[in-house]
Structure 1
Amino acid sequence: MTVPLPMVFIHGLWLHSTSWQPWTDLFREEGYDPSAPGWPGDPDTVQEARQNPESVAGYGIDDVVEHYAALIAALPVRPVVIGHSFGGMIAQKLLGQDRAAAAVAIDAAQIKGVLPLPLSVLKATFPVFRNPANKHRPVSLTAQQFRFAFGNALAEEESAALYERWTVPAPGRPLYEAASATFNPHSPAKVDTDNSGRGPLLLVSGGKDHTVPEAVTRATLKQYRHSQAVTDIISFPDRGHSLTIDGGWREVADTVLTWLGQQGPETGR
């Protein structure tokens, strides 16, 4: 009997891990063994996370990486890791450390070495950077801020509904760590992009994303130019940062499934 391949989904800032449920249901039906654990400090539900925002305060990129690395170490084989936004950065770090069989990074946050900084990124992240003390605090988005950062490619009603269903406070520290990566040789945002022995990587971008514009994802691809391992990119031109949770999520998920099936027995069903 074939043991299903483990798959670990990693959320980003401002979304709860349960937002991955449609994906985990689909990938289970397709023969994988998916799970979507939260970040360190994350409560089990959206409601609990909103009621206890301090539970996530102060956690940084390395804390999150080690949290998921410990979970992965308990699995029978290396999993496929799929991450969105900062979860996409975490997925790349885990792949570069050879902790994953393959990785999919969807609208992934900027890793060290990626220099483009479109104005929309500054506006999307302003709720954190407006106050330096937010580095050590949890930060929440308003519905209007979510609309710009996540739901700009959606009808206003859908953006508002997603905000009410999935948004939670997020730690400010990862954004400060990523912002200072250029000046820190030991930045937590650094990824081993030269690793030629790692598993395959798929970068996914949304062409209308304000938080991680396509220019950022394409600059990320260039960081892997010295690696001989598979590094692919797929763009959804009309999609924003909400592409994993909005009404078009299935198109993205099916694209990921197809790509994984093309990578060989270590990542196929």
Structure 2
Amino acid sequence: MTDSGIPVVFIHGLWLHASSWAPWLELFRENGYQPLAPGWPGIPDTVELARADPESIADKGIDDVTRHYAAVIDTLPRKPIIIGHSFGGMIAEKLLGENEGVAAIAIDAAQIKGVLPVPLSSLRATLPVFKNPANRHRAVSLTAEEFRYSFGNAVSPEESDELHRQWTIPAPGKPLFEAATANFSPHSPAAVHTENEERGPLLLIMGGQDHTVPEVITKSTLKQYRGSSAVTDLVEFPDRGHSLTVDSGWRAVADACLDWLRKQNL
């Protein structure tokens, strides 16, 4: 990687392969950044290989993923901007809280320790994992119907099915179990250093139709940062669901990220 632009590390969430960031990488590269989208630890390089070997990602937890991306960041010529979706958004928040990046954008980020609301839609969206306690140590796939509820509810059924076919991979259950018990664990890996005064700016983005991370979770997350004077902004896309980074409306979300970064002189 050359040193001609700020690195941008994209972090995917559960059930989407890192290659789903491809349009974002192209757009950010065109805008002068040096983007990269490494997969979670253990995930093969393609969707097909990941589906063929689900155990390669099984039993990976929040700390495993955070350390993995911190190691990636250590190889870069300068501190990056970190952009994450869903659990990738939580990881982005954790890394920013540890001063690993110059800024972070958390898109429909999974709930962190201290966030109390547990909407019914979130419970239904994660039922494929929680219905079996043994899934804590397994990798779990979503059916097209389950993906439609959890991700694709704000797009057409046809688009949802195509997104499922193109991008979904098995995902470890462990991070969901860790997040679900975060408020009962004094040393939860879902804890974020939200009171860090020295961190870079943070943008939270929420989809108003998101079933997996409803807006009440993101608004509650914003409140967790009230103890820090560092920049923390919120942008809402009222008509968007959890698929907002990969569906046909991805460009509006990406443009909002670019606009915010320019306002931060980044």
Is 2:211 the counterpart of 1:210?
yes
Aligned to 2:158: 157
Is 2:54 the counterpart of 1:53?
yes
Secondary structure of residue in 2 paired with 1:82? strand
Deviations 1:57-90 (A, max 9, x none): 1100000000000000111110000000000000
Secondary structure of residue in 2 paired with 1:68? helix
Secondary structure of residue in 2 paired with 1:205? strand
Aligned to 1:143: 144
Change (3 A) 1:46 1:2: closer
Q: Distance in 1 between matches of 2:127 and 2:104?
A: 29
Q: Distance in 2 between matches of 1:96 and 1:160?
A: 36
Q: Distance in 1 between matches of 2:164 and 2:76?
A: 33
Residue 220 of structure 1 aligns with an amino acid whose one-letter code is T
Aligned to 2:202: 201
Aligned to 2:94: 93
Q: Distance in 1 between matches of 2:72 and 2:157?
A: 37
Is 2:264 the counterpart of 1:263?
yes
Q: Distance in 2 between matches of 1:70 and 1:118?
A: 34
**Number of residue pairs the alignment of both structures matches:** 265
Task: Give TM-score, length-normalised by structure 2.
Answer: 0.99
Secondary structure of residue in 2 paired with 1:228? coil
Secondary structure of residue in 2 paired with 1:204? strand
Deviation at 1:256, TM superposition (A): 0.3
Q: How does 1:5-20 map to 2 (within 5 A)?
A: 5-20=6-21
Is 2:114 the counterpart of 1:113?
yes
Q: Is the 8 A contact 2:11 2:18 kept in 1?
A: yes
Q: Distance in 2 between matches of 1:190 and 1:5?
A: 27
Q: Distance in 1 between matches of 2:156 and 2:3?
A: 43
Is 2:182 the counterpart of 1:181?
yes
RMSD, aligned CA: 0.8
Deviation at 1:223, TM superposition (A): 0.1
- In percent, how many aligned pairs have the same letter? 66
Task: Spell out structure 1 runs of 4+ moving beyond 6 A.
Answer: none
Deviation at 1:2, TM superposition (A): 6.8
Aligned to 2:255: 254
Can you give the 5+ residue segments of structure 2 that lack an aligned partner in the other structure? none
Aligned to 1:192: 193
Q: Distance in 2 between matches of 1:255 and 1:58?
A: 34
Residue 145 of structure 1 aligns with an amino acid whose one-letter code is E
Q: Distance in 1 between matches of 2:108 and 2:248?
A: 17
Q: Is the 8 A contact 2:136 2:172 kept in 1?
A: yes
Deviations 1:4-63 (A, max 9, x none): 110000000000000000000000000000000000001000000000000001100000
Change (3 A) 1:52 1:2: closer
Deviation at 1:3, TM superposition (A): 2.0
Q: Distance in 2 between matches of 1:190 and 1:118?
A: 20
Secondary structure of residue in 2 paired with 1:157? helix
